[in-house]
A = this chain, B = another copy of it.
Amino acid sequence: MAQVSPTFSPLYRQIKSLILQALEAGEWRPGEAIPSETELAGRFSVSQGTVRKAIDEMASENLLVRRQGKGTFVATHSDPRAFFRFLRLVPLNGGIEQSRSVPLECWRAKAGPEAARVLGLKLGDPITIVRRVLQFSTKPVVVDEIYLPGETFAGLSLEVLNEYQGSLYSLFESRFGVRMIRATERIRAVAADRSTADLLKVREGSPLLSVERISYTYGDRPVEWRRGLYSTAEHCYLNDLG
Q: Give how many copies assemble into the complex.
A: 2
Q: Interface-forming stretch among A10-18, A107-115, A232-240?
A: A232-240
CB contact list, A199-242 vs B, under 8 A: 205-209, 213, 230, 232, 236-242
Q: CA A150 – CA B238 in complex, angstroms? A: 27
Q: CA A73 – CA B173 in complex, angstroms? A: 42
B237 adjacent to A188 (CB under 8 Å):
yes
Q: Is A123 an interface residue (CB 8 A)?
A: no
Q: Interface-forming stretch among A25-33, A37-45, A179-187?
A: A179-187
Given contacts A62-B242, A182-B241, A240-B182, contact A232 B85 (CB under 8 A): no
Q: CA A86 – CA B187 in complex, angstroms? A: 15
Q: CA A238 – CA B206 in complex, angstroms? A: 22
Q: Is A191 an interface residue (CB 8 A)?
A: yes
Given contacts A242-B61, A242-B62, contact A207 B185 (CB under 8 A): no
A240 adjacent to B190 (CB under 8 Å):
no
Given contacts A189-B209, A190-B207, A208-B207, contact A184 B242 (CB under 8 A): no
Q: CA A186 – CA B182 in complex, angstroms? A: 21
A183 adjacent to B241 (CB under 8 Å):
yes
Residue with the highest number of chain B CB atoms closer than 10 Å, among A205, A207, A213: A207
Q: CA A217 – CA B81 in complex, angstroms? A: 27
A209 adjacent to B238 (CB under 8 Å):
no
Q: Which residue of B lies closest to A235 (CB)?
A: B188
The interface residues of chain B lying within 8 Å CB-to-CB of A241 are 85-86, 88, 182-185, 213
The interface residues of chain B lying within 8 Å CB-to-CB of A186 are 236-239
A contacts, CB < 8 Å to B: 60-62, 85-86, 88, 182-191, 205-209, 213, 230, 232, 236-242
- The 6 listed contacts between A and B (C-beta, < 8 Å) are A88-B239, A183-B241, A186-B237, A209-B209, A213-B241, A239-B239
